[in-house]
Amino acid sequence: MRKVPVNAERERSGWFGVLGSPAFLKIVTHSILLCILTGSCAFAQPVMKNVLIIYSYFYSGPNPYLDTLESSIRARVPERVNFLVTYLDSSRYGDKAYRESQAETFRREYREVKLNLVIAVSDPAFSFVLQYRDKMFPGVPVEITGIGLEEVREQKNPGVTGVAIPIGIKETIDLALRLHPDTRNVAVIAYDTDDIWWGVAHSELLRHQNTVKEIDIIGPPSSQMLKEIAALPPSTMALFQLFTSETTQPAVGVYDVLDTVAQRVPTYSAWASLGLGHGGVGGVYYDTIKAALVSGGIAARVLRGEPAYSIPFVRLSGLQVKVDWRALQRWHIPESALPPGSVILYREPTLWERDRKYFIPGIALIIAQALLIIGLLWQRARKRKAEIGLRESEKRFRVMADTTPSLVWMCDRKGQITYLNERRIAFSGTDPDAGYGDTWTEYIHPDDLRNVLDTVSQALKSRQPFSQEYRLRRSDGVYLWMFDVVSPRVNGDGSFAGFIGSAIDVTDRKLAQQALERISGQLIEAQEKERSRIARDLHDDICQRLALLSMEIDQANRISEASPATTQNTLDEIRKHCSEIAVDVQSLSHRLHSSRLDYLGIGAAIRGFCQEFSRQHKVHIEFTEKHVPTDLPNEISLCLFRVTQEALHNAVKYSGVGEFAVELTAAAGEIQLVVRDSGAGFDVEAAKRGGGLGLVSMQERVHLVHGLFVVESRPGEGTRILVVVPLVNEAQKSSKQRGEEEPERVSGAA
């Protein structure tokens, strides 16, 4: 037996095998246990879980199974875990005295160590533990992991659980015969014919006894075994099942025998540590990492307090073919002969894999040079393409500039004109050189020249966009108003190159603006005339009639002694005059603002106005009202009322007839007003150009309420005025007042 204690970082070494004296091992073991116990007491370390791992065979090299098992347990157990690893001498396991001695040794060494779990890896380790567990580790849970656990799983062993791992002896033999179909002999190399694995191999070879002959090479490694291997006949392959032993240091070791037989014949083994990496071809193996993870999970459950008897045995499945690429090359075995999914190990690196540290910089350098050359060629092609594009762009610009309705010009950074489009040249005259350089100032109106020069001078300093208005002389000598929008130009390097400007003719807008100013003056004048007319009516009519009424009252007082009939006639005349004056004052008031509009609504206001207007001017007005709401917005009501007033006054004044019709209708979210007559009619366009305020005032009133104003009239065919105003709610009206106005909808029909 060999025992190596492993702390939280697990330290293992192989010098125990060198100093293989049992007494020495016993002294060292007690010393280590004493150090562990003393250290625990001295430093008061936290609670630690102790796990004893017993291997059936000695491993001198890396052990990925053990590494994975330990990391898996530590990842699942919150406490600190201490691993103790020991190995049995499997070559002496058949000796009962050896087993009894080992059991007593385990009992003495671990009686003062609180073991939380014992893990027995493979047979004969788990057979040894199951046989002597009550003597060695009474009450300690046991996890057995290995091959051939079917019988153990069927037995009821309290406190025992484990993982059954398949062994691929049958599959390895089938693989070897598949890769070597001309095999006539199979050499089985093992310690003893009593070994369980030799029995399994022997049973499997009996299935092929008609095609192959079994040759048994039995015993510990020795020179005699090497001679027997050297004498193997041709068409032989070897099944190696000889395990290492730590108790002795023979002149010929296991791996010496393995190297020799692997050089002599194709060699296979059902154990990866023997079949791979030492000249063997390989075999069929279980997944070591998967087995370690499953075993670690079960161990963690036991260490966390779960009873071992409540955890069922786990049987792993799935074997995988693993072969050594070097052996395939040695024995001329094609990879296509391998079963699908086979893993090929130790493949020699290719030229690329071996020398890629030189290839990669060389390829990178070549690629860099190629990219540089491609970049230079691309830059050259791009430059040519840019030059062609620039020429085409300049051509397109000149075509666009010559066809645009604007007057386009360009100047340099000093303000000298360098380009004029054809429309600008045609505007100035027939001389193609006119306007270039400084001569452009000759075409600016003298009153605007100083302001234009100051603006251009300031812009050349600030190099910012600007706009200006000025008068430019046309070829016929007429000055037209221009609105010029100017932006800076830049060169290819981003430096300032000058300005480019586009001027459009805004003479019509200027004239319209002047006309609007004239209309504003006319409106003010009309307001003053209206005030004068009201004052004249009050002074010349109402005041005179009031004075006459006062005289009649005085006269009535002087003739108070007259007859009752005369007095009654006088009073009737006075009452009549008072009534007429009241009617005239009311009419005058209604012309200024109708009180019915505020209290009775637009329908009643227009009806009352039509009645008063009919009596006053001795005409007949037919008024029709349909579905008109009484709660119209004030601005709409006032607009419709004023349009009705203006339309009827114009109709009475110009139509020459005494029959008129007024229709007020509300439907589909809008209200319509129609005023028509069958009189003389007029030319609408001529009336607009005449500058009269009647149509203009009506049009502006309708525009303010976002309505449609239409005048339909022809000479001799009467006149029809149509007003359509949309009915909007208060939210829409507020939005309109904030500036979201619809386009003007005013038109005239001739």
Q: Among the listed ranges 20-29, 313-322, 551-560, which one has the minimum average pLDDT value?
A: 20-29
Cα–Cα distance list, 189 to 61, 95, 215, 220 (Å): 21, 21, 9, 10
Q: What is the pLDDT of residue 10?
A: 41
Q: How many whole angstroms separate alpha carbon 124 and alpha carbon 131? A: 11
Angstrom CA distances, 113 to 16, 38, 87, stand at: 21, 12, 18
At residue 39, the pLDDT reads 46
Q: Is the pLDDT of residue 552 over 80?
A: no
pLDDT of residue 736: 47
Between 690 and 637, the more confident residue is 637
Cβ-based neighbour number of residue 155 at 10 Å: 8
CA-based nearest residue to 125, from 104, 99, 161: 99
Which of helix, strand or coil describes residue 343?
strand
Mean pLDDT, to the nearest integer, of 64-90?
90
- Count of C-beta atoms within a 10 Å radius of residue 276: 21
pLDDT of residue 288: 85
Average pLDDT over residues 158-186: 90
Per-range mean pLDDT, top range of 118-122, 182-186, 717-721: 182-186
**Residues in the chain, total:** 750
Q: 10 Å Cβ neighbour count for 284?
A: 26
pLDDT at 29 over 80: no
Does position 529 have pLDDT exceeding 90, yes or no?
no
Reply yes or no on whether the pLDDT at 156 is more than 50.
Answer: yes
The larger pLDDT score, comparing residue 30 to residue 720, is at 720
Strand 407-411 relative to strand 343-345, pairing: unpaired
pLDDT of residue 215: 94
Give me the pLDDT at residue 596, please: 66
How much is the pLDDT for 638?
A: 84
* Strand ranges (E), 521-658: 620-626
Residues 6 or more apart in contact with residue 684 via CB below 8 angstroms? 695, 711, 712, 713, 748, 749, 750
Dihedral through CA 731, CA 737, CA 743, CA 747, nearest 10? 100
Which stretches within 304-445 are classed as H helix?
325-330, 351-403, 422-428
Q: Give residue 21's pLDDT.
A: 42
Average pLDDT over the chain, rounded to whole? Answer: 80
Residue 731 has pLDDT above 70, yes or no: no
Query: For 187-324, where are the alpha helices, taking DSSP H only?
Result: 196-206, 223-230, 254-264, 272-275, 288-303
Contacts of 186 by beta carbon, 8 Å cutoff, 6+ apart:
173, 176, 205, 208, 212, 213, 214, 215, 236, 237, 238, 239
Q: How far is residue 392's CA from residue 398's CA, in Å, rounded to a whole number?
A: 10
Q: Which of 24-38, 170-184, 374-388 has the lowest mean pLDDT?
A: 24-38
Q: pLDDT tens digit string along 289-307?
A: 898 999 999 999 999 999 9
Question: Which residues are CB-contacts of 318 (< 8 A; sequence separation ≥ 6)?
Answer: 166, 286, 287, 290
Least confident of 330-339, 365-374, 544-553, 637-646: 544-553
pLDDT > 90? residue 178: yes
Q: Residue 280: pLDDT band by 50, 70, 90 thresholds?
A: very high
Residue 212 banded pLDDT, cuts 50, 70, 90 = very high
Provide the percentage of residues in the chain whose pLDDT is more than 90.
30
Span 583-609, pLDDT tens digits: 666 666 655 555 667 667 888 888 888
Of 242-256, 553-567, 664-678, 696-710, the least confident: 553-567
Which tens digit of pLDDT belongs to each residue from 80-105? 999 999 888 777 777 888 889 989 99
- What does the alpha-carbon distance between residue 411 and residue 455 come to, in Å, rounded to a whole number? 14
Q: Per-residue pLDDT for 454 more than 50?
A: yes
For 120-151, write each residue's pLDDT tens digit: 988 788 888 888 988 999 989 999 887 655 54
Could you report the per-residue pLDDT of 398-436, keeping only the tens digit for each? 777 777 788 888 898 888 888 888 888 888 776 666 667
SS3 723: strand
